[in-house]
Amino acid sequence: MRPSLFTSPLWAALTFTLSLSLLSINARAQPTSAPADPALQYRELSEQTRQVAERYLQAYLSRDWAQLFPLMAERIHFADPTAKMVFGDLSQQGKPALMKYFSEVYPYVETHVFKRERSTFAGQHAVFIGESDWSFSLPGHAPVRSKTPLVLTLTVENGRVTDHQEIADFQSYLSGRQQLAAGGKP
């Protein structure tokens, strides 16, 4: 008996190749997963940012450097461009430089209470708006107490703060310092 074309090895190879081609076409036509929901991704990222930023802010305000340190990215950047005319350039780059700055300068901050008026968490960004009631005293000088409007922004990437910016109105601090220099009480 003569073998039929449908039972020959050639037919088996052709049908196998055709089956693979059809599977390949079908696999390309079928998405492997549903497209991500941008609103859900944004909401989840904003919530992750809120959690990290809230912990960072509390540690920063209470000067709890041990709690703050692990929340900082190695390449963290800190800046307060509004302080430049008052205190000089405070910009710091990197975790070691920023921790050194905090440990050397913040002991002169005698009191500090941040009264938050509002906050926003948008994707990787956190914004805290409020008033900073603080007193600052350099060695050998009387403390100057002031209430300063403050906007503090944080950028969070991979669960760590990569950027910390502050914008403040230092007019009340400067007025208090001027009063002290003139012999008055701030």
| Range of the structural domain that residue 170 is part of | 38-181
Q: How many domains does the chain have?
A: 1
**Domain assignment present for 79:** yes
**pLDDT at site 164:** 98
**Domain assignment present for 28:** no
pLDDT in tens, 76-96: 999 999 999 998 999 999 999
Angle (nearest 5°) at CA 152 between 53 and 159: 20
Q: Indicate if the pLDDT at residue 26 is higher than 60.
A: no
**Domain assignment present for 68:** yes
Torsion (CA) 175, 177, 179, 183 in degrees, nearest 10: 180
Over range 24-39, report the average pLDDT.
61
Percent of the chain with pLDDT over 70: 80
**pLDDT at site 10:** 44
- What is the Cα–Cα distance from 149 to 172, expressed in whole angstroms? 10
- What is the Cα–Cα distance from 27 to 99, expressed in whole angstroms? 53
Percent of the chain with pLDDT over 90: 60
**Domain assignment present for 8:** no
**Domain assignment present for 22:** no
Q: Give the CATH number of the domain where residue 76 resides.
A: 3.10.450.50
Over range 119-144, report the average pLDDT.
92
Split at pLDDT 50, 70, 90, the class of 34 is low
Split at pLDDT 50, 70, 90, the class of 137 is confident
**Domain assignment present for 15:** no
**Domain assignment present for 27:** no
How is residue 2 annotated by DSSP? Answer: P
**Domain assignment present for 56:** yes
